[in-house]
Structure 1
Amino acid sequence: MNLSSEVYIMRAMAKRISWLDAAEILGWSPRTLRRWRARYRIRGYDGLFDRRKRRSSPRRVPMETVEKVLGLYRERYEGWNGRHFHEKLREEHGIELSYSWVKCALQTAGLLPKRNRGRVHRLERERRPMRGMLLHVDGSTHDWIPGLGWQPDLIALLDDATSEVYEAFLCEEEGTKAILSGLRSVIEKEGLFCSLYTDRGSHFFHTPEAGKGVDREQLTQVGRALAQLGIEHIPSYCPQGRGRMERFFGTWRGRLPREIQAAGIQTLEAANEYIRKKFLPWHNRTLAVKPKEEESAFVPAGGADLDGILCVQDDRIVGNDNTVHWGRKKPQILPQSWRMGLAKCRVRVCEHLDGNLSVRYGHRIVGWYDSEGKPLEPHQTKAA
């Protein structure tokens, strides 16, 4: 039997076409096709390839098992990639078949497309030897929650040495606050790291001329926060430099939406809960690798004022009425025990990740405000 004949028989078994249609396509009589089907029932999957063997192949798979595998994929796991489906067969259905066999069967039946990899020869970039030496951060827009009606962004921070993911969450749009939130989570859990590798998006770098180098003097909010924390910020100038993150997103795009759909999740909050409790631990347990050196480059954040650093901030001049302008808000600075007033003084307004505001004069916090600019603690000031 040639390869094309095998393909149509497998498609008939997968119920993609009828047996009579397969016979017509192959130019066989229905009786001939029934003989081949009987051969498969007796000799298994390998019986389609070689009739010269006088003994059954040790890799023979019963037809009932093949039909069950193809039926499961068609009815419950359509659209899943081969590796993901293979894991589900073993974990949830107790079917112990090799990944190569499952992939070949799905591709032959026309249920799984074949991937043609490029022929460009590239050299692998050496991973950093220790955890915390280099982290990657990026976002990916995708249909992460099937049926949601719009495509959220997935933000992920990944260690170069191990491919361990320290933080991953879905948000409405990748931007300054989303990145700062991810950085804060990593720093609070692991500590300060050495370098951060990112693309040249506008929330990471100012690029005066498209396609040219970034401006190292005019920092974005993210760049300013990294500089204050002593973390080196490395821009990417080629797609290949972001290959590790692209491969990571490719893996998650093939798995996470299917898992979310199977769990019946329909909201951003529930999806983030699922990622944090189940999918992220699975990734770090299954896909992360051991670093070359056991030591860690993470160091404790110590007394760093993460509230005052990992936020959106800018300087303002206090008006004669002791108010400052922040967008359409005018936070009122109340009297301070250590100074008569702050009119005409330069202060720093910080918009924090939770939406609250603080106004700072040097190392003193002269007021906390809610997202509407109304005082939260009208009679207290705090030292930063």
Structure 2
Amino acid sequence: MRFSDLLDRTEAKELTQEAASELLGISVRTFQRWAERFEAEGDDGLVDRRMGRRSPRRAPAEELERMLGLFRDKYADFTVKHFHEQLQKRHGYVLGYTVTKLALHAAGLVRKAAKRSAHRKKRPRRPLRGMLLHQDGSRHAWIEGLPAMDLIVTMDDATSEIYSMFLVEEEGTASTFRALGEVIGERGLFCALYTDRGSHYFYTPKAGEKVSKTQQTQVGRALSHLGIEHIAACSPEARGRSERMFGTLQGRLPKDLRLAGIRTVEAANAWLKAHYIAEHNAAFAIQAEQQGTAFVADRHEAWRETLCVIEERTVGNDNTIAWSGRRLQLPESWLRPHFVKAVVRVHEYPDDTVNVFLGPHRLARFTADGQQISPDATKHGCVLGAVKDKPLRARKRASLTAPARAAVETTRVGAEKRASSRTKKPTRRANLEAISVA
């Protein structure tokens, strides 16, 4: 009825054939064919002539049955794609992948794939530098002739600018502290760090599930002390920016190292810091959405005593502590005659040196092989930030002896020593003389 009405309107010149075919949702050529059949056969000419006829391109039923039989007998554990490849390679199969998959679905031999979730949009960048930093490692044969090793990269989310990059044998706590130290020492404290869920970043009670919010690793403890939020990525897709950046580096960096004649890790790290980082940022970094920075200067340099491995040890009867399979001998100190049974705090820095603290007081420094460093050597920095990490029980035990109390009294700001006549207790002879005088 609609076609008949539109045909009458086209014959009356009210509509063009193009407009009529658009209203019917067909092409102009189809409208013309329908008009010819309607004039010749009336309403019967508009009946769909495909009804009851098989398509000449329909897949042969015998071939489909043979395919289904092969799947049941020999390839039941194959994916459809893998099965289709084997059919073509071994059984002279010529039908396409789609018709094969649909036939397997219709026969109930293969389940339909679950419907995909909604399209994920790329996460917008943070507007300011220093609001979010990415840190990750990529294992690859970076230097020609040397085995694969990890490249640790710390980059800004707002600009994709690389702040730190170096090679290590294996990614871990020490490499994380080294990278964070380079960034914070040069630019200051930042707002948040985005990493994977590696065991040195987070403690995961059960593999594949959420990370613990109460039990922290050494890295988690350090970031919490510095006020930096630690964000865990749950999939490689969530770290898309760093993953794409590593794809670029794997394609370019080994070639650049070869052209520069780099053959050792030490030379590579020096060259990366002196040359490559600036060249990479000039080529690939973008402008931040907003001007300014979210980095904050750490004026007291608390990061120096925070970005390190911190553990407690109890001093043994021989005035030594156990650390990394060796005994570290504590030297004499004006604080106490000895430190037997005292709970001390051990700091191991990214350069493998070790400091031993009792409260805010540094008792000794040792090299990586356990040799004591002279007291007048260069200090690692301010220890005021380390006081905050000291457990309550360590503070209590550190003040049990008279020398320790005296040390605290002498360093108290603004305190004045009382006159000797007011602090000394009168002796028995002085009391007797006072009585006789009275």
- Whether the TM-score (by the shorter chain) exceeds 0.5 is yes
Equivalent of 1:362 in 336, 359, 362: 359
CA contact (8 A) 1:367 1:381 kept: no
DSSP-derived class of the 1:166 partner = strand
CA distance in 1, matches of 2:349, 2:278: 29
Query: Shift of the alpha carbon at 1:278?
Result: 2.0
Unaligned segments of structure 2, at least 5 residues? 1-117, 384-438
- Shift in CA distance, 123/381, structure 1 to aligned 2, threshold 3 Å: closer
Distance (Å, rounded) in 1 between the aligned partners of 2:197 and 2:377: 41
- The one-letter code of the counterpart of 2:135 is V
* CA contact 1:365–1:381 (8 Å) conserved in 2: no
**Residue 209 of structure 2 is aligned to residue 235 of structure 1:** no
The match for 1:376 is: 373
Please say which of residues 206-215 and 368-377 is displaced more in the overlay.
368-377
Separation in 2, partners of 1:327, 1:277: 34
Taking a change above 3 Å as real, the CA distance of residues 380 and 242 of structure 1, as seen in their structure-2 partners, is closer
**Which of the residues 299, 306, 319 maps onto 2:316?**
319
SS in 2 for 1:325: strand
Q: 2:135 aligns with which of 121, 134, 137?
A: 137
Give the Cα–Cα distance (whole angstroms) in 1 for the partners of residues 271 and 119 of structure 2.
38
> 1:356, 1:181 → 2: CA distance?
13
Aligned to 1:21: none
User: Is 1:364–1:381's contact at 8 Å kept on the other side of the alignment?
Assistant: no
Q: Of residues 299, 302, 323 in structure 1, which corresponds to 2:299?
A: 302
Cα displacement (A) at 1:173: 0.9
- Is the 2:181–2:304 contact (alpha carbons within 8 Å) kept by the matching residues of 1? no
Alignment CA distance shift 1:272-1:378 (3 Å): closer
* Pairing of 1:170-249 with structure 2 (within 5 A): 170-249=167-246
| Structure-2 change in CA distance of 1:173 and 1:380 (3 Å) | closer
Give the Cα separation in 2 of the matches to 1:277 and 1:295: 25
- The one-letter code matched in structure 1 to 2:337 is M
In structure 2, what is the equivalent of residue 273 of structure 1?
A: 270
The CA distance in 2 between the partners of 1:272 and 1:381, in whole Å, is 25
| Higher CA-based Rg | 2
Query: Which residue among 288, 291, 297 is the counterpart of 1:291?
Result: 288
TM value normalised by structure 2: 0.58
Distance 1:373 1:275 in 2: 31
**Counterpart of 1:112?**
none
- SS of the counterpart of 1:139? strand
Which structure is higher in RCO with an 8 Å CA cutoff and minimum separation 6? 1
Partner of 1:156: 153
- Provide the TM-score with structure 1 as the length reference: 0.66
Quick one: distance in 2 between partners of 1:245 and 1:167? 13
Match of 2:349 among 337, 347, 352: 352
Alpha-carbon distance in structure 2 between the residues aligned to 1:237 and 1:380: 44
3-state SS of 1:310 partner: coil
Matched, 1:342 2:339: yes
Report the CA distance shift for 1:341/1:361 in structure 2 as closer, same or farther (over 3 A).
same
Instruction: Check 1:337–1:285 CA distance in 2 against 1; reply closer, same or farther (3 A cut).
Output: same
SS of 2:230's equivalent?
strand
Aligned to 1:73: none
State the Cα RMSD in Å. Answer: 1.8
Q: Residues 122 and 378 of structure 1: is their aligned pair in 2 closer, same or farther, counting only changes over 3 Å?
A: closer
Deviation at 1:372, TM superposition (A): 2.1
Aligned match of 1:257: 254
Counterparts of 1:9-28 in structure 2, within 5 Å, are none
Q: Provide the residue aligned with 2:23 in structure 1.
A: none
The gaps in structure 1 that reach 5 residues or longer are 1-119
Q: Which residue of 1 aligns with 2:125?
A: 127
CA drift of 1:218 comes to 1.4
1:332 to 1:144, Cα distance in 2 relative to 1, 3 A: same
Residue 359 of structure 1 and its aligned partner are, at CA, apart by 0.3
| Equivalent position SS for 2:288 | coil
1:254-281: CA deviations, max 9, x gaps?
Answer: 1001111122221111212221122211
- Matched residue pairs, number? 264
Query: What amino acid sits opposite 1:135 in the alignment?
Result: L
| 1:92 aligned partner | none
- Specify the alignment match of 2:145 in structure 1: 147
4+ residue stretches of structure 1 with deviation over 6 A?
A: 379-383
Query: CA–CA distance in 1 between the matches of 2:347 and 2:188?
Result: 23
Q: Which amino acid aligns with 1:339?
A: R
In structure 1, give the amino acid aligned to 2:347.
C
Name the CA distance, whole Å, in 1 between partners of 2:329 and 2:219: 27
Q: In structure 1, what is the Cα distance between the partners aligned to 2:278 and 2:305? A: 31
Instruction: Give the aligned partner of residue 76 of structure 2.
Output: none
Find the residue that maps to 2:323 and give its secondary structure: coil
Shift of 1:248: 0.4
The structural deviation recorded for 1:381 is: 12
Change (3 A) 1:381 1:255: closer
| Code of the aligned partner of 1:230 | G
